[in-house]
């Protein structure tokens, strides 16, 4: 959690993702229509995403795959290794 109330809100992150995606698509030399066809995501969904940031997770993953950015999702929602060690302590209790 950020100090002083400057933590990004979900809306801010949606807009940033949409802008990053738009840049990546253009760098790849793809039109919205071309990317929609190649990914299997409807053109309407792609346009809405780039305009508002709203998109289904599965569709976002399909787009990322075509843009060779699927690996960017590997770290999302990772658990902390320290938490895994704590869980192990509780699951490995010895019987008295």
Ordered by where they begin, the domains of the chain are: 8-91 (1.10.260.40)
**Range 38-45 contact pairs with CB under 8 angstroms and sequence separation of 24 or more:** 38/66, 39/63, 39/65, 39/66
Q: Locate tokens 């100090």: which residue?
A: 3
| Phi/psi at 61 (5° precision) | -65, -40
Q: What is the pTM of this model?
A: 0.75
Q: Are 12 and 19 in contact (CB under 8 A)?
A: no
CB neighbourhood size of 13 (10 A)? 11
The dihedral through the CA atoms of 4, 78, 72, 58 has a sign that is: negative
* Predicted confidence pLDDT, tens digits, the chain (96 residues): 455 668 889 999 999 999 999 999 999 999 999 999 999 999 999 999 999 999 999 999 999 999 999 999 988 888 776 666 666 667 655 555
């Amino acid at each position: 959690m950020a100090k002083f109330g400057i933590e990004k809100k979900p809306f801010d992150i949606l807009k940033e993702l949409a802008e990053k995606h738009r840049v990546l698509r253009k760098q790849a030399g793809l039109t919205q229509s071309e990317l929609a066809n190649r990914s299997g995501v409807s053109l309407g969904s792609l346009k809405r995403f780039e305009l508002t940031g709203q998109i289904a997770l599965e569709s976002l993953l399909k787009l990322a795959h075509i843009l060779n950015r699927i690996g960017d999702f590997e770290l999302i929602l990772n658990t902390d290794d320290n938490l895994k060690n704590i869980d192990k302590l509780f699951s490995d209790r010895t019987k008295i």
